[in-house]
Amino acid sequence: MVSFSKYEIYKESNILGVDLIPKHWQTLPLCALARLKSITNCHDKELLSVYLDLGVIRFSEVNEKRTNVTSEDLSKYQEVSPGDLVLNNQQAWRGSVGVSKYHGIVSPAYIVLELKPDIDEIFANYYFRHGAMVSQYLVCSRGVGTIQRNLYWPQLKRVQVALPPLAEQQLIAKFLDQKTAEIGETISQKQRLIELLKEQKAILINQAVTRGLNSDVPMRDSGVEWIGEVPAHWEVKRAKYIFKEVDERSQTGAEELLSVSHMTGVTPRSEKNVYMFMAEDYSGSKLCRKDDVVFNIMWAWMGALGVSDRTGIVSPSYGVYRQQLPGNFNAWYLENLLRSDQYVAEYNRRSTGLNSSRLRLYPHMFFDMEISVPPRAEQDKIEAGVTARTAQLDNAVLSVEAEIEIIAELRNTIISEAVTGKIKL
């Protein structure tokens, strides 16, 4: 930033979050630059959405895990043209705003503005998404707390905009396109590095829990095709000889509510950033205890299971299994074995259902599976050896993630400085 020039003369902006702007820039209310489009019911065009980190995107291009559920009835959706400014009226205060590149339709609850020729649409996409503008959306939104805050045109239209001449807007837009592309490529390279580090960690864990730490140990055929070879001194038993299904129910529902996912295994619901329906009464939920194995029966084929490190309650539809011989397994070893690629692939193969969204792994299917059982002392050594090796990989991931955060903040700073006239291009 120190290499950029400054404008010769600045003036007070009278805009929230922006102290000074170049003297020749105008300050205008948004209604002088944009017109609220009439809601014209339109359902036969491509569905669009607005995300705080992506702006206006094609709904079909968004990973389905991030996608909001849409209404089946699109007859009341409103039309968006290329160059329109679209604001998610409930999330604009978080930055869910953007100028559309596409022709399509959006939720009737969104605010769609047609920009006037005085403002370049590429510049506008940067300007209306930068921090000071997002702060203004927050101030003029209405609602309680941060869960439900709505933005409406009567308040939005009075928001102040600092506007350079059109030619200068286009120069700023070109500069930001170049800089953000360069920074984006740097971030992508670092994200690929993180993926490689995580893949290396997963390979290390998978190898250790299925074949042990000692590559020189004698191996034998397990007799199970999908397991393959195991160290000669390991046992291979069916799960029905190792675990029993338990169906204890909570009397009060007051125990800690636990969640089971393919990403994090068994974790307290309070630690997960999820917005799900919360029941008024959890009495009758299944109890699980420390060292119990818990399967999300519907998502076992994705690896949604884990070994609980505490007593808590889970959905009555989950499978809860307890070791017949307590202490036979090291919890870390058992969780990583059951969540290893080999085992998850086998859950997928054994699960039954019409399609992936309806696959189920029922108790008898799990009990029929074979489980590799090293001596307990060796399990402990595997945990100690692997965690020591993976600690370095985890630290490397944290370091790269910190670098990405710094670079992303630099990108935001460059955008903010350019669109508010702090730097001269």
The model's pLDDT over 333-342, given as tens digits with 9 standing for 90+, comes to 999 999 999 9
Residues 101, 82 contacting (CB under 8 angstroms) = yes
Identify the band that residue 67 occupies on the pLDDT scale cut at 50, 70 and 90: very low
d(CA 93, CA 150): 9
- Cα distances (Å, whole numbers) of residue 168 to 16, 96, 159, 364, 417: 22, 26, 22, 69, 14
- Cα distances (Å, whole numbers) of residue 354 to 301, 344, 351, 358: 13, 19, 10, 6
Q: pTM of the full predicted structure?
A: 0.79
CATH number belonging to domain 213-373? 3.90.220.20
Closest CA to 295 of 256, 335, 333, 331: 335
Condensed to tens digits (0 to 9), the pLDDT of residues 310-323 reads 999 999 999 999 99
E strand segments, 232-337: 235-238, 243-245, 258-261, 265-268, 286-288, 293-295, 305-307, 312-314, 319-323
Q: In this predicted structure, what is the pLDDT of residue 64?
A: 47
Query: Does the pLDDT of residue 280 top 90, yes or no?
Result: no
**Token pair listed for 11:** 């003036």
- Cα distances (Å, whole numbers) of residue 56 to 51, 73, 172: 7, 21, 21
How many other C-beta atoms lie within 10 A of the C-beta of residue 249? Answer: 12
Strand partners, 221: 229
pLDDT (mean) for 393-402: 97
Of 36-45, 67-76, 92-101, 383-392, minimum mean pLDDT range: 67-76
E strand segments, 95-174: 97-99, 104-106, 111-115, 142-144, 148-150, 160-163
Please report where in the chains the tokens 């998978």 appear, as a residue: 206
pLDDT (mean) for 60-69: 55
> CA angle, 389 as apex, 388 and 394 as ends, to 5°?
95
CA 339 to chain centre: 21
d(CA 88, CA 49): 8
Closest CA to 111 of 17, 30, 16: 30
d(CA 306, CA 334): 9
- Cα distances (Å, whole numbers) of residue 22 to 11, 30, 168: 6, 19, 12
Outline which parts of the chain fall under CATH 3.90.220.20: 26-163, 213-373
CATH number belonging to domain 26-163? 3.90.220.20
d(CA 82, CA 100): 5
**Token pair listed for 12:** 């007070």
Query: Does the pLDDT of residue 40 top 80, yes or no?
Result: no
Query: Does the pLDDT of residue 1 top 80, yes or no?
Result: no
**Token pair listed for 381:** 């050594």
Q: In this predicted structure, what is the pLDDT of residue 248?
A: 96
